[in-house]
Structure 1
Amino acid sequence: MSGIGHNGGPAMEPGFGFRKLAWGKARKSLLKTLPIEIVRVRVARAKRLGIDYTTYASIRAASGHDVVAFLFSGNALEMTPRRLTLPDHVTERLGGLGGAADRLAAIYAPAHPHALLSANPGLLDHSAPAPRFTESWSAMRDRIQGMVRERGLPADGVVLVSATAVEREWCAAGKLAGAIPADRFFAATQPA
């Protein structure tokens, strides 16, 4: 019950204690206890992807699938239309992902996707135009999902690496597995 003078605390109606206990038990029963061998494999997978285990586990729990690809925005890659060669720290991080997951890039015009791939051989598996700022939600969805589908990847196995709030919307529009801020993904020291 809410209204004037209500402080937003728990309802004190009869049965509150039981509902709290029942909710706690139900929540605990939903959380699976994973065997230690599976936890070790997942920790190693998170390390191979270069992301912390907590982030990896939350993406896996939300999507129900493993991370199979990363979709990088042009801003996350720190590229500009005049400078298509990626900075050293980005190059090093992308090179470290080789074989662990596909590396996709969504870049803004006037840069051309093929020019980005040519300027950075072996660092990206695929590049396509990013959604335009003026596009509708459905056009943004179609562009992101089309890029993922073109590679034959499940959308709920692709993680977005973005640098701006506008780009983070691509995650929901494309029904991707999750999003990681670019500054965290490309941090100088990666988690062990």
Structure 2
Amino acid sequence: MIGHNGGPTLEKGTSWRKHCWGKARRDLLPVLPLQIIRQRVRRAEELGLDYKTYATVRATSGCDIVGFLFSSNALHLVKVSQKVPRERAEKLAAIRNGDILVAAHQPHDPLHIARRLEEDHAISLCDIREAPPFTDSWSAVRDRMRRTLSDTRLRGASVVLVGETAFEREWTAAGNFAAYLPSDRYFAKT
């Protein structure tokens, strides 16, 4: 009604209704067996994610994470002559049972980045492509992301995008990716 601030009701029985609502909510949440939880914790470790992030992405996308798409910005490649910082390369190299894709912003040569990662850090990429330019329309970005995924036979809902900028965050919807993680969160020291 007019003037009501949406605060708690002052009617009798509020605490009982709150208790019933809380119990109903808890009953809706799945109770996973301990073995499943352990498997998911191991899977999160294989991918270099903390369990909370892994479980959130898995729950929202409905799929297991099978790969990552890193932008060259997320790898801290600003200058063409630059190498991927050692800590970031080590985190990439530690990914097990997951595909690694890279979207290289201009003026980077995608093949040069792939060769450097392979030679310097023994990191094999599933695929590397040019990143969409800032001037591309949303539909052009969407088409580019879909082509990248279809060529690798990965589904967007099972790939996490790791980026550095707001422009890269927009790729998440364009490619129908499972989630977007800022690079500082993915590469944070654990």
Give the 3 Å change call, closer, same or farther, for CA 12–150 of structure 1 in structure 2.
farther
Aligned match of 2:35: 37
- Counterpart of 2:107 (choices 106, 110, 123) is 110
Q: Which amino acid aligns with 1:115?
A: H
Q: C-alpha displacement at 1:68, in angstroms?
A: 0.2
Q: Which amino acid aligns with 1:57?
A: A
Aligned match of 2:153: 152
Give the 3 Å change call, closer, same or farther, for CA 133–20 of structure 1 in structure 2.
farther
Q: Which amino acid aligns with 1:50?
A: G
Aligned match of 2:63: 65
Question: How far, CA to CA, are the matches of 1:9 and 1:55 in structure 2?
Answer: 32
Contact kept, 8 Å, 2:162 with 2:186, in 1: the verdict is yes
Q: C-alpha displacement at 1:15, in angstroms?
A: 9.6
Contact kept, 8 Å, 2:126 with 2:152, in 1: the verdict is no
Question: How far, CA to CA, are the matches of 2:150 and 2:79 in structure 1?
Answer: 26
Q: C-alpha displacement at 1:26, in angstroms?
A: 4.2
TM-score by length of 1: 0.85
Q: C-alpha displacement at 1:125, in angstroms?
A: 2.4
Contact kept, 8 Å, 2:75 with 2:88, in 1: the verdict is yes
Contact kept, 8 Å, 2:103 with 2:131, in 1: the verdict is yes
Give the 3 Å change call, closer, same or farther, for CA 12–132 of structure 1 in structure 2.
farther
Contact kept, 8 Å, 1:105 with 1:126, in 2: the verdict is yes
| 4+ residue runs over 3 A deviation | 10-26
Aligned match of 1:56: 54
Unaligned 5+ runs, structure 2: none
Aligned match of 2:77: 79
Question: How far, CA to CA, are the matches of 2:20 and 2:129 in structure 1?
Answer: 49
Unaligned 5+ runs, structure 1: none
Give the SS at the match of 1:109.
coil
Aligned length: 186
TM-score by length of 2: 0.86
Question: How far, CA to CA, are the matches of 1:22 and 1:142 in structure 2?
Answer: 48
CA RMSD of aligned residues (A): 2.3
Identity %: 46
Give the 3 Å change call, closer, same or farther, for CA 14–149 of structure 1 in structure 2.
farther
Contact kept, 8 Å, 1:84 with 1:115, in 2: the verdict is no
Q: Residues 98-125 of structure 1: CA distance to partner in whole angstroms, max 9, x if unpaired?
A: x421000011112121121122214232
Give the 3 Å change call, closer, same or farther, for CA 44–16 of structure 1 in structure 2.
same
Q: How does 1:127-138 map to 2 (within 5 A)?
A: 127-138=128-139
Question: How far, CA to CA, are the matches of 1:118 and 1:102 in structure 2?
Answer: 17
Contact kept, 8 Å, 1:81 with 1:109, in 2: the verdict is no
Give the SS at the match of 1:41.
helix
